Every structure is written in structure tokens, then in C-alpha cells.
């Protein structure tokens, strides 16, 4: 988290209050915590090694190397290892300390790139829920930044949404991708695939509905 940032966490009952509950919290409840980072406190004891590892230049160069490794894994279609390399870089950037605004800008720029790569990788391995998580991270970062979201973010997010059966939202994301890359044939192909999948889903639902009616 960054200074003055608010985050929300959903905690499942097994990690919260279980079947005992707490005051007005019923047993076996999923709990929502909202946390705001109001201040930072430096560690009293910090070894030279830890200081180096938290140095922005050190972490940034390390993450660039991870990007190269991840890109190589992606090119040879080893998507799961590519995910591992990119994820390591994301975790390192999330831990680093910034001395100025320029460092945070560089970090955010690289973080958007990493999240985009992870979105694409999770699309390839057909893990749409994870893909949507990283797409949403990019949208959240856009709220306070001036960068432009690329067509590939909208395109791959649309594919993930199609896999999840959220056809209307997938179509909206494809439209956003098309506005950026109007002549990209992959966008048209995905649009046709989306329409076909949506139609097949509609037919299945009609058959299921008739079956349920006949069972009554």
C-alpha cells in the first residue's frame, strides 16, 4: 500500500471469527476490513543488505531483468513460468520505498506493464478470474494517473469476461479496444467468437428453462 491509500479486504470466516462471531458479527461471517495507510514508520534496525534490497534503483533493475525472463518464457509458450517471473517483479515493486515522486512514477509505469503481461498470460492459460484481477488493477491505477490503457488490456480483459460468461461487459471492452485499434483483425475475430459463445449460452439456457418447466 501507498501513503494515504485505502484498501478493502474480504476475510473468509476461517481466517476471521469462525463460528464464534464477535459482538454484532454473526458466526461464520465473511468480514470486510477497510484499511487506510495514514503514516510510515522506519524500522529501528536495518541491515546494509536489507537497505540495498529496498533501494529503488536495485529493485527497478531487478524487475527489468524479471521482465526479460518473463518475455522469453512467453515467447517459448511457457506461460506458467512467465507468470512466475512477472509475479516476482510485481511483489518486489510493491515492497520498495520511494524517495521522490519520479521513482514512484517509474515504478507505476513498470507495474502497469507487468500487470498487462500477467493479464495476457492468464488469458492464455485460461484463468479468467486472475486475468480480470490484473485488468482491474490497471483500471484502478488509471484513476489517479495520466497513462493510456492499451488496446491489448481491453482485448484480453474481454476474452476473460467471455470465458466467465459476462458477455455484455466483454462486448463493451472489445468496443474500447476497437476504438484504439480499429483495423486489428484479432478484435473482429474475438467479437465473432463472443457472439457465437453468447448465442450458444442463450440456447442452453432456453433448453434448461424448458426442462425445468417440464419437471414441475
CA distance linking residue 29 with residue 11, whole number of Å: 9
Q: pLDDT tens digits, the chain, 216 residues: what are they? A: 566 677 887 777 777 777 766 667 788 888 777 887 776 554 444 444 344 566 899 999 999 999 999 999 999 999 999 999 999 999 999 998 889 999 999 999 999 999 999 999 999 999 999 999 999 999 999 987 878 999 999 999 999 999 999 999 999 999 999 999 999 999 999 999 999 999 998 888 777 666 666 665
Query: Which residue in the block uniquely carries the three cell numbers 507495474?
Result: 111
Q: DSSP string of 48-66?
A: HHHHHHT-HHHHHHHHHHH
pLDDT computed for residue 80 by the predictor? 97
Question: pTM to 2 decimals?
Answer: 0.72
pLDDT tens digits for 149-184? 999 999 999 999 999 999 999 999 999 999 999 999
- Residue 98 region by backbone torsions, left for phi larger than 0, else alpha for psi between -120 and 50, else beta: beta
Amino acid at each position: 500500500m501507498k501513503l494515504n491509500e485505502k484498501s478493502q479486504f474480504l476475510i473468509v470466516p476461517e481466517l476471521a471469527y469462525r463460528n464464534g462471531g464477535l459482538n454484532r458479527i454473526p458466526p461464520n461471517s465473511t468480514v470486510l476490513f477497510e484499511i487506510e495507510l495514514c503514516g510510515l514508520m522506519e524500522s529501528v534496525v536495518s541491515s546494509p543488505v536489507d537497505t540495498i534490497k529496498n533501494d529503488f534503483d536495485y529493485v527497478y533493475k531487478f524487475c527489468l531483468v524479471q521482465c526479460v525472463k518473463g518475455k522469453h518464457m512467453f515467447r517459448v509458450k511457457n506461460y506458467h513460468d512467465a507468470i512466475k517471473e512477472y509475479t516476482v517483479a510485481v511483489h518486489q515493486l510493491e515492497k520498495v520505498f520511494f524517495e521522490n515522486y519520479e521513482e514512484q512514477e517509474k515504478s507505476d509505469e513498470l507495474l502497469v506493464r507487468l500487470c498487462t503481461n500477467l493479464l495476457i498470460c492468464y488469458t492464455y492459460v485460461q484463468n479468467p478470474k486472475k486475468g480480470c484481477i490484473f485488468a482491474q488493477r490497471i483500471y484502478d491505477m488509471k484513476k489517479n494517473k495520466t497513462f493510456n490503457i492499451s488496446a491489448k488490456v481491453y482485448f484480453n480483459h474481454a476474452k476473460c469476461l467471455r470465458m466467465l460468461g459476462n458477455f455484455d461487459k466483454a462486448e463493451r471492452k472489445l468496443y474500447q479496444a476497437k476504438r484504439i485499434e480499429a483495423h486489428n483483425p484479432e478484435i473482429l475475430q474475438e467479437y465473432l467468437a463472443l457472439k457465437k459463445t453468447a448465442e450458444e449460452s442463450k440456447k442452453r439456457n432456453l433448453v434448461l428453462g424448458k426442462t425445468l418447466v417440464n419437471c414441475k
